[in-house]
Structure 1
């Protein structure tokens, strides 16, 4: 049995400049939100603005989990309503020819237990993930530098972004051919045009896991989804190609994924405060704690569009047993709320945490 890292408040180290960094993030989010509101006439998210699919289903906690995994939401077998949102990371709604990393947000409903601050009246547990094991920035200060560049390129000519994306994909392909890759280039437009339903998603940042510390992963297990792994989407002449292909796949066969957990075993090799470090899977492999099942349904349409407009996702919607950890997550708390509040105000529509599907 590995010696798992025990959770305590002392596991986090708050940087002296975090307050000013969070204020800077909110300022840049504001620039992005102002630009997109002027473009679209409605409020959209400051990051991950474009949804490529919304799917409703269930999350079932695995029976007989060992003690170290039977924590928080996963302490006992249970079946919960859940919503999955597939997206890409820019704050503007771009032609899918501009290739950027895939994101997955999931909301689990009617979850009982002690709540995180600011989430006391809710009964949801959110998971926010991307299709890479590590975050592009070490901490929120580094992320702020990247966000300033993204804010400056929001509302720029889309044709130039397409050309840049194509050029960066060529550079990234060259790097990968010699065993290298660049998370920064992928964020700027060099990410491969993979199918979102075939991807594995990672929380990238650390979370409390009851008595322990962990990262999360969502991995496809349905054969139809495994067949989509590494499949490239043809975006030529199709500005919403990803949405169309996700819709076709969910309409044809739905999907199934495993939610998995990687428990920290070494506080130095598996840091909480440096989000660029992917934890060693040989030292601590991901282990399955729940099954996510999405029955056959449309992936996009008016119902999905309305649901997308009504929902907000944040790692701070959840249980105290799954408290977000580290600098990036601490910065997300206010900045994500700021983005949701601005969207609500612009659209004149309240955003409530749902009680169920």
Structure 2
């Protein structure tokens, strides 16, 4: 990912203004959504039957929980001063690092990584279903493009993954070794990694804290349309970019690396926005297309700052893993998720939340103020 342009620099092209017309749902999208709900519920039922605890059907394994602050930049140009970022302000937040499978695997099965962020104390017009809440959620993955272009293709992938949930972990470990080799070849030939190969265990064995995370799919950005990224900014985090991490024989190697880092270090990330300037070349309905940064670079809109802290404890796991859900539909109307992949997430994520709450006999709700983790 290119370095972000400074706040006041001119971007290339005129930002596309948001209107409902930027979305073009498939006529049978409701049926696809029902299929995704069924597949995700199957994954949840399978892992619950095997483990006795309901976990997320995707991003089940967490590697660390952080508390910190998001500080909106002062002096943003008008096209960036939108929604959550309209005015300089400091908000508390919670961060959850994860990997994508719906079952709890050893970290030697190297899959793409996720970062979920819950910003707390956000006032404004809400998305339907989150009325009365004061949070803005961002759900991010460490790749600028999603692994499926649309909900139908996504459903076919999820059905395939569902068949292997909580099964043949030894085979997944062996496949991951092969897929990492395949990924190296893909990068050498094409210059970029394959999202499909990464999902099958071909993600490089690197430090999770060196990753840049992306919304992958579009969202409304006030008057405009954008994608969001969160990138390491402090020197200690930047130094971990593509840094190798030995996870062979270390089942929770990513968690141990996160705990070790934040025991003595704090961290700073930049929150960046990439405005859509051409709907043909920067489509809303095809999430596999990374928007060209030469047309519209990612530009800093805020910073996240955390202090040294314990990133793993029973109290944090209970509060965040069991007591929270992260959905791009928990937030402001000014940041409405856009495109098919985002639309189907709405009902799928709500099903997963209700399933976990029911099976674990837990209340899952959006916090109204910063939590105090009783580590």
Asked if these proteins are the same fold (TM beyond 0.5), I'd say yes
Which runs of structure 2 are paired with 1:325-340 in the superposition (5 Å)?
325-340=338-353
Deviations 1:255-305 (A, max 9, x none): 110000000110111100000010010110111000100111011112221
What is aligned with 1:118?
129
* Range with bigger deviation, 234-243 or 171-180: 171-180
Which of 292, 299, 305 is matched with 1:293 structurally? 305
Rounded Cα–Cα distance in structure 2 between residues aligned with 1:236 and 1:273:
38
TM-aligned CA deviation for residue 136 of structure 1: 0.3
Of 296-305 and 281-290, more deviation after overlay is shown by 296-305
User: TM-score scaled by structure 1?
Assistant: 0.98
2:60 paired residue number: 49
C-alpha separation in 1, matches of 2:106 and 2:229 = 28
Shift of 1:229: 0.7
| CA distances 1:104-146 after superposition (whole Å, capped 9, x unpaired) | 0000001010000000021100000000000000011100000
Match of 1:170 among 181, 188, 191: 181
Shift of 1:237: 1.9
Q: In structure 2, what is the equivalent of residue 224 of structure 1?
A: 236
What is the 5 A alignment of 1:1-357?
Answer: 2-180=13-191, 181-308=193-320, 309-357=322-370
- Counterparts of 2:335 and 2:190 in 1: how far apart (Å)? 35
Deviation at 1:149, TM superposition (A): 0.7
Q: Deviations over 1:140-177 (max 9, x none)?
A: 11000000011000021211110111111111112222
Report the Cα distance in structure 1 between the residues aligned to 2:206 and 2:284, rounded to whole angstroms: 29
Unaligned ranges ≥5, structure 1: none
Tell me by how many angstroms 1:232 deviates: 1.7
CA distance in 1, matches of 2:228, 2:285: 16
SS across alignment from 1:178: helix
Q: Which moved more, 1:141-150 or 1:168-177?
A: 168-177
Structure 1 residue 194: Cα displacement: 1.7
Shift of 1:178: 2.5
SS at match of 2:186: helix
Poorly superposed stretches of 4+, deviation over 6 Å? none
In structure 2, what is the Cα distance between the partners aligned to 1:178 and 1:132? 18
Paired with 1:130 and 1:255, the residues of 2 have a C-alpha distance of 19
Q: Name the Cα RMSD after superposition.
A: 0.9
Q: Deviations over 1:186-219 (max 9, x none)?
A: 1011111221111101100000000000000001
- 2:6 maps to none
Q: What SS class does the counterpart of residue 280 from structure 2 fall into?
A: coil
Shift of 1:254: 1.9
Using the TM superposition, give the Cα deviation of residue 307 of structure 1 relative to its aligned residue in structure 2, in angstroms.
Answer: 2.1
Distance in 1 of aligned mates of 2:183 and 2:21? 39
Q: Aligned-pair distance for 1:87?
A: 0.3
CA distance in 1, matches of 2:47, 2:239: 36
TM-score, structure 2 normalization:
0.94
- Residues in 2 aligned to 1:314 and 1:192: alpha-carbon distance in whole angstroms: 27
Q: Provide Cα deviations, 1:228-248, integer angstroms capped at 9, x if missing partner.
A: 110122112210010000111
Could you say which residue in structure 1 is the equivalent of 2:373?
A: none
Q: Give the secondary structure class of the aligned counterpart of 1:224.
A: helix
Unaligned regions of 5+ residues in structure 2, if any? Answer: 1-9, 371-375
